[in-house]
Each structure stands twice: as structure tokens, then as C-alpha cells.
Amino acid sequence: MTERSAYHHGNLRRALLDATAAVIAERGVAGFGLREVARRAGVSHAAPAHHFGDATGLLTAFAVEGFTLLGTTLAAAPIEPHDPVLGVGIAYVRFAVDHRPHFEVMFRPDVVRAEDPALLAARATAIRPLTAGLRAAAVASGTPASPGDLEGVDLDAVALGAWAQVHGLAVLLLTGNIPDSGETVEALVRRVSTATDAAVLAWAAPTGRRRARPAVRS
Amino acid sequence: MTERSAYHHGNLRRALLDATAAVIAERGVAGFGLREVARRAGVSHAAPAHHFGDATGLLTAFAVEGFTLLGTTLAAAPIEPHDPVLGVGIAYVRFAVDHRPHFEVMFRPDVVRAEDPALLAARATAIRPLTAGLRAAAVASGTPASPGDLEGVDLDAVALGAWAQVHGLAVLLLTGNIPDSGETVEALVRRVSTATDAAVLAWAAPTGRRRARPAVRS
DNA sequence: TGTACATCAGTGAACGCGCGTTCACTGATGTAC
DNA sequence: TGTACATCAGTGAACGCGCGTTCACTGATGTAC
């Protein structure tokens, strides 16, 4: 970025969004405020109102940016052959850890204009890869998937369950509810996914008849 | 509660905790403040400090109450034969919806004395039924479970995955990220659980060999 | 049963703080001629 | 190329607000004698 005049900032919008991330990273969403953000951006305290109207406006824009970023991240996640959403899930939790300030605002409807069309659109686009991964897998497996249904499986419910699980992992991680095992986020998500699959396979057999097949991971 | 003197409240601690729930229910955690809580409890604005020291103290006590309540709720949840944690999971999400103010504070380390021993103890006790359900199922199935391991399944990871999933569902519900389908919380959790199990069973087979067995729900 | 006193729960006035919002302004930039 | 002017980004002083905290206090309660 080239040197600008002291008066006109040049890209204050960008600077304010960056300052927002910095403030939230240091003090949490509760520590956020227009004056504090302006201070960090090296600008008068009334300047943010010019770009975003009010605090909610700034945070809404910040959340939109977060969802857009999440969308590209998830869309770029690799699809693993044995589990169509594992790659997306790993990317999701990584995003939450790597972009904590964004993530924390994105799911705080009390602090954002929750009905903002741009926000809703960005969110819908962002989470699409979760369902898309499942449908792609359905097609690839040779079973023409009627909408929302594959071999009798409610795909929407599966997608919601997968979303909930990775979202829960992200939230529990960020709130310090998962003891640090020293493993990477990727390893953690893989471990949970593998264990869950194994448990389902081990226990889904009708009661009374023990399964002959050992658990998948064996 | 019998009529007390106007001066000595009698059970101000209780009243302040109740007022906290009311404030958060109406205005969210961000709208919480000692003066507002005192106002609702019909008491001077300096009174809360007598009982809780400061705002963080009050919210910490509120979170402890929440975890204690969650603990009794989960411990009382029925254990279903085919899924040792489904009952607990349903109870978990129900708790979040039924006691939203508590739930929102319980997982906000920025707003609570996160290292408070009473808080940590109450939390540990509360989530125990998640792992306990799995271990009980292991014993009941006749397999003496070596700690953390059942038929090669990492039980701790399964418990964490189950916790994450129901926590994620709760958070997504409370933040308005799950479209209202009109179904009860119980039905929603069951649907997700069933679909997930079915998907695992349908797709866990080695690639190339299609499963003969139809998906569980068929 | 009655009196004195210690304890402690709750009061209310005062303080300083950071916040969001408003508004007349100023300085830089771009465009018309 | 030069001048005038409109536009608009950002300023800074002022305001009112609700907050948390402090502190000397007052009123009720319980206990010792």
C-alpha cells in the first residue's frame, strides 16, 4: 500500500475490519467498541460511523467477510474417499481456530444484523460444501440420489449432524472445554470421526447378536 | 416465601440469580449488568457486590448453577438400548433450549472466572454421563472394557464426538442457524442420530464392494 | 423477660470512565470549463 | 495547463448515558448476660 495523505486514509474500511479482528483477538467480542477500533486504526473516533453507520454495521460486515472466507476455505477442502465430509469438517474446525475473531462474530446474532441479506447469502454459500460433499459422494457411488435421500438415508439430517459436530468441536475448543492433547486440529477431528464410525459399526448390530466383524479401525 | 422486612431481603442471592436469568433472557449476555440485575431484584445497585463481589462473580455462580442443573438433568436421562448416549444427547439439547440463559453463560469463559474450582467441578460432574453412558454400555454388552477402549474403539473420542454433536446442535439452534422445521428437539436429535448411523453403515464398506445390507432405517 | 451490643445485609450519594451519537467543520480529491 | 467548485472522507468538541466501584451510613437480627 502506497503512502497516502495523512488526511484521507485510502482504505479505512479495510483498516477498520483489520482493527476489529485485532481488538476481538485481544479482548473478545465484549471488548469491542467503535472508539477502540478507531484508536487502533489511528483514526478519529467518529470515522467508523462514516463507513458502517454503527457498531452493528461494522460487526455485520466483519461477519460477512468471515462467512465469505469460510466459504472459500470449505470449497477448497479435499474430499476424502471414505468419508465425503471429513475434509470439509477438518477445514471447518481449522477455520474457527485460525480465524477466531471472525468465527466468534459469525454466530452471534445478538451482535450483528442477523437478517442482513448479504450475511444470509454469505452464510448459505459458506456451508454449501457440507451438503454438496454428501451429494457428490452419492452420485459418485453410482446411486442416483433423489433429492435429500440416498439409500433411504436422510442426507439433510446427515449434513446437519456433520455440521453440528464440527461446529461443536470448534466451539468447545475455543471455549477451552477440550483439554489440550498436543495433537493438531486435523488429528483431533480425524480421531473423533474414526472413533464415531467404529462405535456405530460395533454397536449398530441388533442386540443379542454380537458382531463378527471387528471395529473398523482395529 | 414468607413476608420479610423491607430492609433484609431474606434470600437476595437467589433473587439475584433469578434476575440474572431474566435479564439475559431478555437482552442477552451483553445486556447483563450489576445495576440492571439489582433493579430487577428491587434492591439497591450496590447490593449485588455484597454477595458476589463483582459481575464476574455473579456470572460464575450463575454458570455453576447451570452446570449443576445440567448434571442432574443428564444423570436422569434414560439410556436407550441401541444407542447409549442418545438419551443423554436429547436431554443436553433440551437443557440448552429450556435454560438458554444458563447455557449461554456456561460456555463463555470470557465472562466468567473460568478457573473457578467450583465451576470446574460442576462442569466435570455434569458431562460425566456422556462417558458413563458409553462405559455402561460397554460393560452391559459383556465386553470388559479396558479403560478408554472397547473392541478397539477409542471411547473418549466417541464421547467427545457425541458431546460436540449435541453441543453443536444446541448452539446452532440457539443462534438461529437451524431452520424451524416444527419438530420437537427430541425428534430433531433422533433424526440426526438415525441418519448419521445409517450413513456410516451405508458408506463404511470398503470402496468397490457395495453393501448388500440396506441402510438401517430403510 | 429485658437490655446492651456485635454483626452484617443492604443503602444511597458520589466518583470517574468509556461509550455511542451528533454536528459544524476542514482538508484532500476529482471534475468541469 | 490553470482555475473554480462540488464532493466527500475524516475531524474534534460536546453531549448525555449507564456502568462499576467506593464508602460512610443505617436498619434489622441474633446473642450474651
**Stretch A151-158: mean pLDDT:** 85
Of the candidates B161, B210, B218, the beta carbon closest to that of A192 is on B161
**Confidence tier at A10 by pLDDT (50, 70, 90):** confident
Axis-axis angle for helices B185-203, B86-98 (nearest 10): 140
- Residue-level pLDDT at A143: 54
- Are A202 and B153 a contacting pair at CB < 8 A? yes
Q: DSSP H helical segments within B28-85, as ranges?
A: 34-41, 47-52, 55-75
Q: Which residues of A touch B83 (CB under 8 A)?
A: 203
Q: Give B79-116 pLDDT, tens digit per residue.
A: 888 888 999 999 999 999 999 999 999 999 999 999 99
Cα–Cα distance, B154 to B115 (Å, whole number): 28
Q: Are B217 and B198 in contact, with CB atoms under 8 Å apart?
A: yes
Does B215 contact A152 at a Cβ distance shorter than 8 Å?
yes
pLDDT band at A151 (very low <50, low <70, confident <90, very high): low
Residue type (1 letter), A185: V
Q: Where on strand C do bases come within 7 A of a protein Cβ?
A: 9-14, 18-23, 27-29
Angle of helix A117-140 versus helix A55-75 axis, rounded to 10: 10
Residue B92: its chain A contacts at CB < 8 A? none
Q: Is the CB of A46 under 7 A from strand C?
A: yes
Phi, psi of B153 (to 5 degrees): -95, 130
Spacing of B8 CA from D28 C1' in Å:
7
Q: Are strands B149-150 and A153-154 parallel, antiparallel or unpaired?
A: unpaired
CB atoms closer than 10 angstroms to residue B76: 11
Q: Calculate mean pLDDT across residues A6-29.
A: 90
Q: Over range A120-135, report the average pLDDT.
A: 92
pLDDT category at A6 given cuts 50, 70, 90 is low
Nucleotide nearest to B41 (CA to C1'): C10
| Beta carbons of B129 and B76 less than 8 angstroms apart | no
Tell me the per-residue pLDDT of B118-129, one tens digit each, with 9 for 90 and over.
999 999 999 999
Share of chain A above pLDDT 90, in %: 70
Span B137-151, mean pLDDT? 59
Q: CB neighbours of A146 closer than 8 A, spacing ≥ 6?
A: none
Distance CA A43, CA A63 (A): 22
Q: What is the pLDDT of residues B38-91, one digit of tens each?
A: 999 999 999 999 899 999 999 999 999 999 999 999 999 998 888 889 999 999
Q: From its phi and psi, is residue A186 left (phi > 0), alpha (psi between -120 and 50) or beta?
A: alpha
Indicate if the pLDDT at residue A103 is higher than 50: yes
CA pair distance B54, A86, nearest whole angstrom: 44
Distance CA A36, CA A42 (A): 10
Cα distance between residue A162 and residue A85, in whole Å: 7
User: What does the mean pLDDT of chain A come to?
Assistant: 87
For residue A208, the model assigns a pLDDT of: 38
The answer to whether the Cα torsion of B166, B158, A134, A87 is positive or negative is: positive
pLDDT, residue B131, reads 86
Residue A158's alpha-carbon distances to B100, B134, B200, in angstroms, are 25, 22, 10
Three-state SS at A201: helix
Measured CA to C1', the nucleotide nearest B42 is: C10
**Nucleic strand D contacts from chain A, 2-41, CB < 7 Å:** 7-10, 12, 38
**Closest Cα in chain B to A31:** B110
3-class secondary-structure state, position A106: helix
pLDDT of A28 > 70? The answer is yes
Distance from C-alpha of B43 to C-alpha of A186, rounded to nearest angstrom = 51
Residue tagged 454466530 (cell numbers): A107
pLDDT over 80 at A142, yes or no: no
Q: Which three cell numbers stand for residue B64?
A: 455453576
Rounded mean pLDDT of A120-128?
Answer: 97
Per-residue model confidence (pLDDT) at position A207? 40
* Interatomic CA distance for residues B12 and B62, integer angstroms: 14
Collapsed DSSP state (helix, strand, coil) of residue B163: helix
Reply yes or no on whether the pLDDT at A138 is more than 80. Answer: no
Q: What is the pLDDT of residue A7?
A: 62
Of all nucleotides, the one whose C1′ comes closest to residue B37's CA is: D19
pTM for the full model?
Answer: 0.90
pLDDT value for B217:
37
The rounded distance, in Å, linking the Cα atoms of A155 and A143 is 13
pLDDT at B212 over 50: no
pLDDT at A18 over 90: yes
Tell me the per-residue pLDDT of A164-207, one tens digit each, with 9 for 90 and over.
999 999 999 999 999 999 999 999 999 999 999 998 888 765 44
Interface test with B, best of A108, A192, A194 (most B CBs within 10 A): A192
C1' (C24) to CA (B6) span, angstroms: 52
What's the Å distance between residue A52 CA and nucleotide C19 C1'?
17
Residue A154, H or E segment: strand A153-154
Q: Write down the pLDDT at residue A70.
A: 98
Q: What is the pLDDT confidence band of residue B21, given thresholds at 50, 70 and 90?
A: very high
**Predicted local distance difference test score (pLDDT) of residue A213:** 37
Contacts of A199 in chain B (CB under 8 A): 134, 153, 155, 158
pLDDT > 70 in chain B, percent: 83
Name the 3-class secondary structure at A182. Answer: coil
Closest chain A residue by Cα to residue B187: A157
Round to a whole number and report the distance in Å from the CA of A70 to the C1' of D4.
49
